[in-house]
Amino acid sequence: MIEVKRAFVVLSHTGPLTPDFPLADLPGSAGRLDILCRCATEAFLLSHGIRRDVRLYFVIRGKLLVRLEGRTIRYLNPDERSTAALIRKAIAAAQGARPGEWVPSTPGIHARWGDLAHVREELEGEGFSPYMLEEGGDFIRKVTFPARAAFFLSDHRDFTSEDREALAGLPRISLGPHSLQAQTCIALVHNELDLREAGWTSVT
């Protein structure tokens, strides 16, 4: 079994909690689900393959969790509409789930009712070191990361006070002087860690 080395947790403050949303209006009626779709693309897709050692969580409105596993995921394509359909199936699968129960939808995707604290607990329990991606943190190129790192980031909205409470004590990491879109943050973290693993750069 492939070991998961990197995890990303994207907080969605406006995403849907039920599957009754149209795939034709992801930025509007689906509560900016387009952001989550782009994050999935950047988290997993390479030019000619999939990153199998990556896990991605969506925390939707602090209530619903969707987990995507690179080592087993299937049917993930670059277009937002098909990715949104996968997420919609996961949301539908969770509707009748008991609290705390991960329910499978399509291969590599599960959903459950839970909050941000549950995700942090799960990751730390598996040996991940978690970080917050936020402006004003330590510049990523000056930080040494362990073998298993998890990165928490927000959607088009800032972290709320409730988010910060659940993530209290985590080190903050910055990717540069400007506020970037969530999917761009994921791509930049991947690139930085890829360069280090290939020996092209090192922490300064």
40: CATH:
3.40.1280.10
Distance CA 204, CA 197 (A): 15
User: How many distinct structural domains can be found in the chain?
Assistant: 1
In this prediction, residue 94 carries a pLDDT of 97
Query: Does the residue 119 lie in any domain?
Result: yes
In this prediction, residue 2 carries a pLDDT of 87
Query: Does the residue 155 lie in any domain?
Result: yes
Query: Does the residue 1 lie in any domain?
Result: no
Instruction: Give me the helices (H) in 126-181, please.
Output: 161-166
In this prediction, residue 132 carries a pLDDT of 98
In this prediction, residue 203 carries a pLDDT of 79
3 state SS of 104: strand
The residue range of the domain holding 93 is 6-197
DSSP code of 6? E
Query: Does the residue 203 lie in any domain?
Result: no
Query: Does the residue 15 lie in any domain?
Result: yes
In this prediction, residue 98 carries a pLDDT of 87
In this prediction, residue 16 carries a pLDDT of 97
Query: Does the residue 127 lie in any domain?
Result: yes
Residue numbers in the chain where pLDDT is lower than 50? none
Query: Does the residue 204 lie in any domain?
Result: no
CA distances from 167 to 81, 83, 131, 185, 188 (A): 31, 28, 9, 18, 22
Enter the pTM of the model: 0.97
| H or E element that contains 59 | strand 54-60
